[in-house]
Amino acid sequence: MTDPALQSFFSAHQITAYKKISVGDSCDFVYKLVGKKNLFILKILNLRRPLQKRKAVVHMTAWAGREGLGPELVWHDKTYHYMVMAFSKGRCLRADDLKNPLLFEKVVASMRKAHTASLSHLEGVFPYPLKVRALRRGKEVMSYALQNFRQIFRRLKSRFFKDSGDVNYNTVSHADIKVGNILLEEAARPIFIDWGEVTVSSPYDDLGSFAHHFELDTYQEKRLLNLYFGRGPCAEEINHLRAHRRFAALNEVFWKIRVFCEKSNQNIIEMNKSMDFLQGFL
């Protein structure tokens, strides 16, 4: 914490302590800051991200805060390496919470509003659809030469990753909708707390990720689309949602396998579970 600009912020807000927060698979560092009067969240954006991507993360965080979709952005440095947000009290949204129809509606409304953000916030950021991310992670796993994975991956590609040209990739996408990234504040207001993966893509990427990570059933899938579009979904829209839900599931399991491979003490039991999961698609 020796950066002069950051030290100036610490001094101005009388920061007396800070604590690192675990953030799962994020490549950034997150700290809780304790000030004399307020609490803050400091996010240190990894400099391996291109400058345009770091700008996009900061700009979308600021926009979301102004629109009531996320914590208020308090400060960022000129290099877009550090950004500080107001601390939000609450807990992570859980799948069981969505049994409350009013809360379910609030979450979908927030997601729909997030998708109205101007693409100008993401200037210089190229589209990175969920389908492409899942394929890239699958190819990363192939480099580890796991038994049977190459054959499984080829079959998955042939069956699920054909380019159908069915959706438009021209929407601001949060790109990391999952348990842990939607906070339920004390006033039962759902907010998005991490825009680190924001990109240009299809709204179905976020909808499919939401359906997967929050384990929506068939009724909830249709209700999700009904609330999002303001009308009953057609068969094609349901198919799009389920295809992107599948991309989200594959993206997650490919990431898990890659993490297992990277660890020196590979968890063979968990690895086999992931391979069985992939076989279940075929």
**Paired residues of 86 in beta bridges:** 40
- pTM more than 0.75: yes
Q: Where do we find the tokens 């898990």?
A: 256
What CATH number should be reported for the domain whose range is 4-87? 3.30.200.20
Over range 186-213, report the average pLDDT: 95
Q: Give the pLDDT confidence of 36-89 residue by residue, as tens digits.
A: 999 999 999 999 999 999 999 999 999 999 999 999 999 999 999 999 999 999
208 by Cβ neighbours in 10 Å (0-12 / 13-18 / 19+) ranks as buried
The SS3 assignment for 125 reads coil
The CATH fold assigned to 91-279 is Aminoglycoside 3'-phosphotransferase; Chain: A, domain 2 (3.90.1200)
Question: Hey, is 258 helix, strand or coil?
Answer: helix
Judge contact between 164 and 117, C-beta under 8 A: no
Instruction: Provide the residue ranges of all domains of the chain, joining segments of one domain with +.
Output: 4-87, 91-279
Q: What is the pLDDT of residues 102-151, one digit of tens each?
A: 999 999 999 999 999 999 999 999 999 999 999 999 999 988 877 789 89
